[in-house]
Amino acid sequence: MTAELLVSSLQLSTPELILAVGSMVLLMIGVFSGRQSSTLVTGLAVALLIAAGVWMVLISDLGVAYGGSFVQDPFARFMKVLTLIGSITAMAMAVGHAQEEQIDRFEFPVLIVLATLGMMLMISADDLIALYLGIELQSLALYVVAAINRDSTRSTEAGLKYFVLGALSSGMLLYGASLIYGFTGHIGFPEIAAAVAEGERSIGVVFGLVFLLAGIAFKISAVPFHMWTPDVYEGAPTPVTAFFAAAPKIAAMAMLVRVVISAFEPVAPDWQQIIVFVSIASMVLGAFAAIGQRNIKRLMAYSSIGHMGYALVGLAAGSQVGVRGVVIYMLIYMITTLGTFACILAMRRKEEGNVEQIDDLSGLASSNPLMATILTIFMFSLAGIPPLAGFFAKYFVFLAAIESGLYALAVIGVLASVVGAYYYLRIVKIMWFDEAGVSFVPVAGELRVVMGVSGLFVLGYVLVGGPVGRAAGVAAQTLFVAG
């Protein structure tokens, strides 16, 4: 690599360099300042993430860097902005709960920054090695974050389960990548696409693709690689769970879209079968398994599994309209989920601290009508009830499936939505019609902000849907033009 190429590559990846260098500086500040530096490091970490986002949107150019391993295009930029928003919001929500959840350590924000760096590398990865390095940087940080409350057996168990199953998924992904390299002779996505398009379809490439998709499916908690999700969501501290439910899902879905569209578009019928199966399994399991849940974090875990299934409906279409639908779906899902977790973090009582049982929401409308109203809006949106944002999210992915002739997939998705509406509406019923229990303490300021902004977005999506749709369309078009 020449000096000129290296300089241009560094310029393209400046947001990632800001996070990489900044995280090391924050680590030094935390080490030399001790435990009392937690608040300072958290504030600086949020500023660091904001700086990376501003640089990427206003200054950073588009192009390919590091010999084709890293790509900065409109799709990457759009999904990275969503990832940064998710990380910033989750970190801000954790501030008022750090001491109670025993995550008031300076390592927590540093690990969040490192995980976000891994996610940004995943989104921009344009070859198999860069993809794996991004995944592992994100995953290693997330394993530690899940178990950061060392005094909690649940948190330690969650981190251990996540680590063991994550190692298994990484092995599957690496085995798939090695098969793909062995049978195509390339690791770059454009080169793999050209090699696959030139000759006859190789059974070795198909096997490699299956293993690769299995490894990525673990990261988005899609069936049948979802088994870690309910236990980790329940066991990890609630602010950590809020982070898991937002930013990592955005990055993993973006990575999956880029892999199948950029590298394997010539063998679309092969991976479409896999995506359709995973989508149906995720939607159905997410709909039925959540019905019996009594812990609201476990319910949100199964809800997340179901929503990844709905997003995959758009990807299964294999079209530009479908990818646009996936991008819009992930945006709406992230904002609605963050708002919902802000409400879950607000479920705090003076004597008991944070509570997690759905029945603890009994009669919330009488003690805190504003919170009950906002949570009701989020539940209706997750259920896909018009005219809220969640309805449009499902509409776009189902429309893409219908346009591609996947009528059965769309019908199954609609039926799964009907079943899933039951457990969302049950929460609404408990809040508005059950007898009131012990009231919660007043909602913290940062949670009120997240609830308010998320609620306004979900309610007013009909007003901002046009610009959002156009931006998502430009992002999706990039992948197909590049391909």
d(CA 69, CA 89): 29
d(CA 204, CA 180): 7
- Out of 59-68, 114-123, 210-219, least confident range: 59-68
Q: Please enumerate in sequence order all residues whose Cβ is within 8 A of that of 82, keeping only pairs 6 or more positions apart, or say none.
A: 247, 250, 330, 331, 334
Which is nearest to 132 in space by CA: 62, 219, 202, 207?
A: 219
Residue 198: is its pLDDT beyond 90?
A: no
In this predicted model, which residue has the larger pLDDT, 327 or 436?
A: 327
What's the confidence (pLDDT) of residue 16? Answer: 92
- In sign, the C-alpha dihedral spanning 8, 13, 19, 21 is negative
Residue 99: is its pLDDT beyond 70?
A: no
Residue 294: is its pLDDT beyond 70?
A: yes
Residue 49: is its pLDDT beyond 90?
A: yes
Residue 153: is its pLDDT beyond 90?
A: no
Mean pLDDT of 319-337: 93
Mean pLDDT of 190-218: 87
What's the confidence (pLDDT) of residue 102? Answer: 65
d(CA 43, CA 172): 38
R_g of the chain computed on alpha carbons: 21
Residue 11: is its pLDDT beyond 90?
A: no
3-state DSSP of 196-245: HHHCCCCHHHHHHHHHHHHHHHHHCCCCCCCCCHHHHHHHCCHHHHHHHC
What's the confidence (pLDDT) of residue 252? Answer: 93
Mean pLDDT of 18-28: 92
Is the separation of the CB atoms in 92 and 450 below 8 Å? yes
Q: Please enumerate in sequence order all residues whose Cβ is within 8 A of that of 418, keeping only pairs 6 or more positions apart, or say none.
A: none
Tens digits of residue pLDDT in 349-405 = 777 777 778 888 888 888 888 989 999 999 999 998 988 999 999 999 999 999 988
The pTM is what?
A: 0.93
Which is nearest to 227 in space by CA: 133, 153, 301?
A: 301
As a whole-number percent, the residues of the chain with pLDDT over 70 amount to 97
What's the confidence (pLDDT) of residue 200? Answer: 66
Question: Which neighbouring-strand residues pair with 246?
Answer: none
